[in-house]
Amino acid sequence: MAKHETPFLDQLESGPWPSFVSDLKQQAEVRAKNEAGVEFQIPVDCVEDLLGVVELSYKHGRTHWKHGGIVGVFGYGGGVIGRYCDQPKLFPGVEHFHTMRVAQPCGKYYTTDYLRSLTKLWDLRGSGITNMHGATGDIIFLGTTTPQLEEVFYELTHNLNQDLGGSGSNLRTPADCLGSSRCEYACYDSNALCHFLTNEYQDELHRPAFPYKFKFKFDACPNGCVASIARSDMSFIGTWKDDIKIDQDAVAKYIANDEAYPANAGAFRGSRDWGPFDINKEVINLCPTKCMWMEGDELKIDNSNCTRCMHCINTMPRALKIGDERGLSILVGAKAPILDGAQMGSLLVPFVEVNPDDDYAAITEIIESIWDWWMEEGKNRERLGELIMRQGFQKLLEVTGIEAQPQHVAYPRTNPYIFWKEDEVEGGWERDVVEYRKHHLR
Amino acid sequence: MAFISSGYNPDKPMENRITDIGPRKYDEFYPEVIKKNKGKWSHHEILEPGVLVHVAESGDEIYTVRVGGARLMSTTHINEICEIADKHCDGHLRFTTRNNIEFMVDSKDKVEPLKNDLKSRKFAGGSFKFPIGGTGAGVTNIVHTQGWIHCHTPATDASGTVKATMDELFADFQDQRLPAQLRVSMACCLNMCGAVHCSDIAILGYHRKPPMIDHEYLDKLCEIPLAVSACPTAAIKPAKVTLEDGTEVKSVDVKNERCMFCGNCYTMCPSLPLADTEGDGIVLMAGGKVSNRISDPKFSKVVVAFLPNEMPRWPSMTDAIHKMVNAYSNGANKYERLGDWADRIGWEKFFEVCELDFTHHLIDDFRQQAYMSWRQSTQFKF
Amino acid sequence: MSDLLNDTAAAEKLVVDFLTKKSKNKSKFYIKDFYKLFPDDKPRMIKKVINKMVEHEILEFWSSGSTTMYGLKGAGKQAASEGED
């Protein structure tokens, strides 16, 4: 028998998509029965009360949570978000119901042993409700009381070799795509780079140093599966410099509509029949730079005009492969619209090698020069992208020591209002007006 | 319940403290075949919606069955995922960026038993626990935020709007009939702690009323300078207010017409609550993408300025989404993303074919970039 | 690092004095607010000292979730209003 009636939420149990309501109800029941004999450290009926408070929100059309800023684990400025219910008498089980962010492993691979160690800990010391995963990438533990925060942290660090993630004005937990672990498009090992930088910058991740949040995300190719270009202050996107590798026999198989060579690796295998694959219509004519053509049976690519958009490779993955001279591009300043409007990442470094042997020195050098500038000049709650807007892209080039190049712009400026600096103009700005007047009467 | 100590001593927090150890290392968790073939993959193929094979240069294969899931997940559910992974996948699994779960096996004969097992599992309420799909030219899982389950400034629920939308789009989660992939994202307020601004379709919670001011308690619960500085549009000023009983208290004044309804003041000051039954609801955006494929990444555009919160299933919202997906499916060319299709046919046509109303709210008037979106051309369609 | 920042006791006193003086109006400050106390030092060094003061239980954090602020331990109205006093 449920503790609270939930007529609104009950209507979210039907339909095919996995119902979070059914899952919460199942969890409430498992806790109530407690067949595993867990000595619950927070109220056993907290999930019942969670259902109750969410039902009340469905009735009111308003949230019933309050923010809390004080709670955390000692010495860390992030990783915990305080939450309190604004109806604690009705729902005492969730009166204090804080979130903990647990740093996820790069690539989000898990063993069941490890996941079970997490669920065991969270059943004992929390609600047993999680997000797999939060928007930034962390494993989210949803709902525990203040005294349990340190206990969870102690167990994570001592028994599970596992740290918390970031929140607040910190480096946020970096996140990556699965990269070369299981993807042939990967131009670098995103798992390795993400893991290295996450560990390299643990101090920045846990102890606030910045004017605002700062996000790294790692996409191993321009397909951008973790959306780094849209949502990270520094976006690391894999790319290559040399030629796309072509297997002409495989090209022929695609053209012949061979069963084993489906268009776009089978992405269109569904209820619609798009007709036979047509290389002209589906690849050559859709190439954004029109740098591909057929010469007899041979597919040709003018690689000097290729912008590596991935379309041809995605469409014929068995025939076309990324080049061998691989690295990544760094784009900076992406953010969601709050406050001055959304910003996409802007290209800062067209190509840098990804070299684990020197601890990615070329990359960390750029990161640290940007941080030094932003920490010094950034206003409170100003994202990197907004600082770049305020002080100019040229300033960004100056602080990172990067030469301006046409790759930096979609097109050159459309106004001539260049604020020339004195040292850029021959003879400087000090002039002799007396000499001038000898030739120009007053 | 007796308190069980982990070993932590609250009187000496630094004693034996372990910090700054980061996440677990990824390769502890790789399945064997991944470990062996990392960086040496030849190609992949989607065999059917939700089922992939990756082939290594060595000839090794790894078969992946992708299933959807609510990102709000109980330990009971995670334990069941573990049980499945133990039974079929040597105790390994992974999650995708979009909250899908991937079960991987190292040979083809293991795929059918895994699929059958996944398909057979349902919640007591009748929904699938592990629906297979989310690949290729279809709809994949929605990334979203907390909503009423845990956030203090949401303008709508996240899990509920997502459940209602995915029920509506379920056939396309399990099919690959669309012209290209279609990414739906959800954020429950304009702060977008889940960035949704570059999605094919974005569901966004939005407040429309400035905060209420609880004058009597404000100075007791809040530090006024912090509430003032929390406002990104400088709409909040300190003020002296006389209560009904004649007492004068320190409080704040909100310049309502400057308020952008972000809720940042409520975060700093619990005496400035924002949520409102009629004021809060849904904005729909469309046409964004993050991939560099064919065209540049682009922002989503606001296509529905406001829909009321209709609990528990938001029918006006799912109806508008349904209309967009259908019009896109019927009108776009193969490989064309929703935003590229809308750009090609023109946004005036987009509203026509999606049967959505165009209102003055959809014309940008926010700061500099507004001008960029007005039409500076005589080329348009009637 | 300047002599001032290097002298832990002096640096901590400067920060505490600054916060005590301001505490009538508000109790929480951004990291940038401390920069002007140490004009000769880089933000990265200042941040290390300020964060050490948290470990020494002189300061504590307050987080909005998106930003983190610093205040004297126990100062301000947040502890009472959040029921964590």
Distances A27 to A46, A405, C1 between C-alpha atoms, Å = 10, 57, 54
pLDDT given at position A34: 97
* Residue A423: inside a domain: no
Cis amide prior to A118 (ω within 30 degrees):
no
Residue of A95, A387, A339, A82 lying closest to B263 (CA atoms): A339
Same domain, yes or no: A145 and A30: yes
Q: Of A115-129, B31-45, C5-19, give the lowest mean pLDDT range.
A: C5-19
pLDDT given at position A367: 98
From chain B, the residues in CB contact with A148 under 8 A are none
Same domain, yes or no: A127 and A203: no
Same domain, yes or no: A221 and A145: no
CB of B150 within 8 Å of a chain C CB? The answer is no
* Burial (0-12, 13-18, 19+ Cβ within 10 Å), A273: exposed
Residue range B9-28: average pLDDT?
Answer: 96
Same domain, yes or no: A77 and A96: yes
Q: Which domain holds residue C31?
A: 3-81
* Burial (0-12, 13-18, 19+ Cβ within 10 Å), A333: buried
Same domain, yes or no: A183 and A54: no
Same domain, yes or no: B233 and B361: no
Q: Do residues B132 and B285 touch, judged by C-beta distance below 8 A? A: no
**Cross-chain CB nearest to C65 (options A146, A168, A379):** A168
Task: Report pLDDT digits (tens) over A378-417.
Answer: 999 999 999 999 999 999 999 999 999 999 999 999 999 9
**Last-in-domain residue among B120, B137, B171:** B120
* Residue A345: inside a domain: yes
Q: Which domain holds residue B169?
A: 158-208+277-373
> What is the residue-averaged pLDDT of chain B?
96
Task: List the chains bordering chain B where 3 or more Cβ pairs fall under 8 Å.
Answer: A, C
* Residue B20: inside a domain: no
**Token output for A12:** 């979210």
Beta-carbon separation of C32 and A211 below 8 A: yes
Same domain, yes or no: A93 and A206: no
Give the confidence band of C82 by pLDDT, cuts at 50, 70, 90.
confident
Identity at A339, one-letter amino acid code? L
Same domain, yes or no: A201 and A268: no
Beta-carbon separation of A112 and B157 below 8 A: no
CB of B267 within 8 Å of a chain A CB? The answer is yes
- To the nearest whole percent, how much of chain A has pLDDT over 70? 100
Question: Does residue A162 carry a pLDDT above 90?
Answer: yes
Task: Report pLDDT digits (tens) over B91-120.
Answer: 999 999 999 999 999 999 999 999 999 999
* Residue A165: inside a domain: no
Of residues B368 and B28, which shows the higher confidence score? B28
Same domain, yes or no: B182 and B237: no
**Number of structural domains, chain B?**
3
Best of C23, C24, C67, C77 to disrupt the B interface by mutation (most B CBs within 10 Å)?
Answer: C77
Question: Does residue A65 carry a pLDDT above 90?
Answer: yes
* Residue B11: inside a domain: no
Q: What is the ipTM of this complex?
A: 0.97
Give the confidence band of C85 by pLDDT, cuts at 50, 70, 90.
confident
**Last-in-domain residue among B73, B98, B120:** B120
Question: Does residue A344 carry a pLDDT above 70?
Answer: yes
Which chain A residues in 67-86 lie under 8 Å from chain B, judged by CB atoms? Answer: 67, 69, 74-76, 83
Distance from CA of C39 to the nearest CA of B (A): 24
Same domain, yes or no: B108 and B51: yes
**Number of structural domains, chain C?**
1
Same domain, yes or no: B327 and B348: yes
Question: Does residue A1 carry a pLDDT above 70?
Answer: no
pLDDT given at position C77: 87
Q: Which residues contact A431 (CB under 8 A, 6 or more apart)?
A: none
pLDDT given at position C80: 85
Question: Does residue B1 carry a pLDDT above 90?
Answer: no
Task: Report pLDDT digits (tens) over A45-55.
Answer: 999 999 999 99
- What's the CATH number where C77 sits? 1.10.10.10
Beta-carbon separation of C42 and A372 below 8 A: yes
Distance from CA of C2 to the nearest CA of B (A): 27
Dihedral over Cα of A275, A276, A279, A280: its sign: negative
Question: Does residue B33 carry a pLDDT above 90?
Answer: yes
Q: Which domain holds residue A278?
A: 245-321
Distance from CA of C22 to the nearest CA of B (A): 11
From chain B, the residues in CB contact with C65 under 8 A are 193, 267
Same domain, yes or no: B331 and B256: no
* Residue A114: inside a domain: yes
CB of B142 within 8 Å of a chain A CB? The answer is no
Task: Report pLDDT digits (tens) over B264-319.
Answer: 999 999 999 999 999 999 999 999 999 999 999 999 999 999 999 999 999 999 99
Distance from CA of B224 to the nearest CA of C (A): 8
Give the confidence band of B369 by pLDDT, cuts at 50, 70, 90.
confident
Same domain, yes or no: A294 and A392: no
Q: Of A190-199, B138-147, B337-346, B364-373, give the lowest mean pLDDT range.
A: B364-373
Same domain, yes or no: B183 and B284: yes
From chain A, the residues in CB contact with C64 under 8 A are 67, 69, 168
**Number of structural domains, chain A?**
3
Task: Report pLDDT digits (tens) over B195-217.
Answer: 899 999 999 999 999 999 999 99
Give the confidence band of B180 by pLDDT, cuts at 50, 70, 90.
very high
- How remote is the C-alpha of A107 from its chain's centroid? 12
* Residue B13: inside a domain: no
- What's the CATH number where B80 sits? 3.30.70.3340
In whole angstroms, what is the distance from residue B32 CA to residue B29 CA? 9
CB of C27 within 8 Å of a chain B CB? The answer is yes
Task: List the chains bordering chain C where 3 or more Cβ pairs fall under 8 Å.
Answer: A, B
pLDDT given at position A171: 96
Distance from CA of A434 to the nearest CA of B (A): 45
CB of C85 within 8 Å of a chain B CB? The answer is no
